[in-house]
């Protein structure tokens, strides 16, 4: 059973944050879709040196799996100077999202991650200490459909740091480049792609860490 205090998920270079506990099936769905899309995008483009085309490929794969793009702010590139930690930046960004619950959800997710050393080590390794990573807030909309916002992020800093999310960067010593896309899941389309997804992930399964307020879980 899924823990009712589940706040998110770490898998590969992606950090998922949940406003509310997802169903067990959809918790697995977003992890599997993400990992499949990362593997396919990595085959076409280098996520570190060609992030824009990599994100286009990643989102294109998600679309084929049943995730439709919505809203106009797709692949928007913005640059931000950090004046604190990346975690602070993520909370501030979540607070500016249309759903006012996103900020508190991000705080809960980051608190859970900070207490989970194996998940932090994995995230540092998979993201190249912040060179390329994704933050994915997830929520149900008014119709009960699963929505995600994919933020593709690159940390440009004067030096690499382990535990980069929580390191307090000196003013103007680091900046974040951000690209984003918003997607909504059509489970009927996804159901038709499960055999393909499972076949690929059986050969290339990424390590996964479920994040909980009470205790972190590795799966």
pLDDT tens for each residue of 58-77: 999 999 999 998 765 566 77
Asked whether residue 1 is assigned to any structural domain, the reply reads no
Tell me the CB-side half-sphere exposure of residue 115, using CA atoms within 13 A: 14
Asked whether residue 214 is assigned to any structural domain, the reply reads no
For residue 112, the domain's CATH number is 3.40.198
Distance, CA of 21 to CA of 27 (rounded, Å): 9
pTM beyond 0.85: the answer is: yes
Residue 1 has pLDDT above 50, yes or no: no
Asked whether residue 216 is assigned to any structural domain, the reply reads no
Q: Domain tally for the chain? A: 1
- How many beta carbons lie within 10 A of that of residue 116, not counting itself? 21
| Contact yes or no for 164/86 (Cβ under 8 A) | yes
Asked whether residue 213 is assigned to any structural domain, the reply reads no
Distance, CA of 106 to CA of 136 (rounded, Å): 10
| Contact yes or no for 120/87 (Cβ under 8 A) | no
Q: Containing domain of residue 82, as a range?
A: 7-208
Asked whether residue 176 is assigned to any structural domain, the reply reads yes
Asked whether residue 2 is assigned to any structural domain, the reply reads no
């Amino acid at each position: 059973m899924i823990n009712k205090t589940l706040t998110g998920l770490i898998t590969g270079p992606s950090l998922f944050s949940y406003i509310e506990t997802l169903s067990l099936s959809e918790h697995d769905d977003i992890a599997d879709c993400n990992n499949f899309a990362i593997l396919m995008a990595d085959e076409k483009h280098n996520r570190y040196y060609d992030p824009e085309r990599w994100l286009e490929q990643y989102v294109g794969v998600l679309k084929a799996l049943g995730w439709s793009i919505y809203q106009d702010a797709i692949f928007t590139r913005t640059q931000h100077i950090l004046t604190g930690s990346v975690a602070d930046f993520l909370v501030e960004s979540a607070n500016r999202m249309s759903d006012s619950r996103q900020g508190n959800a991000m705080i809960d997710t980051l608190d859970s991650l900070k207490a989970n050393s194996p998940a932090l080590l994995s995230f540092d390794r998979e993201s190249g200490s912040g060179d390329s990573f994704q933050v994915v807030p997830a929520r149900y909309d008014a119709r009960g459909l699963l929505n995600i916002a994919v933020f593709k992020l690159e940390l440009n800093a004067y030096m690499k740091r382990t535990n980069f999310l929580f390191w307090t960067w000196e003013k103007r010593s680091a900046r974040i480049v951000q690209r984003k896309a918003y997607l909504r899941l059509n489970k009927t389309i996804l159901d038709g792609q499960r055999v393909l997804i499972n076949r690929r992930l059986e050969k290339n399964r990424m390590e996964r860490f479920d994040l909980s307020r009470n205790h972190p879980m590795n799966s």
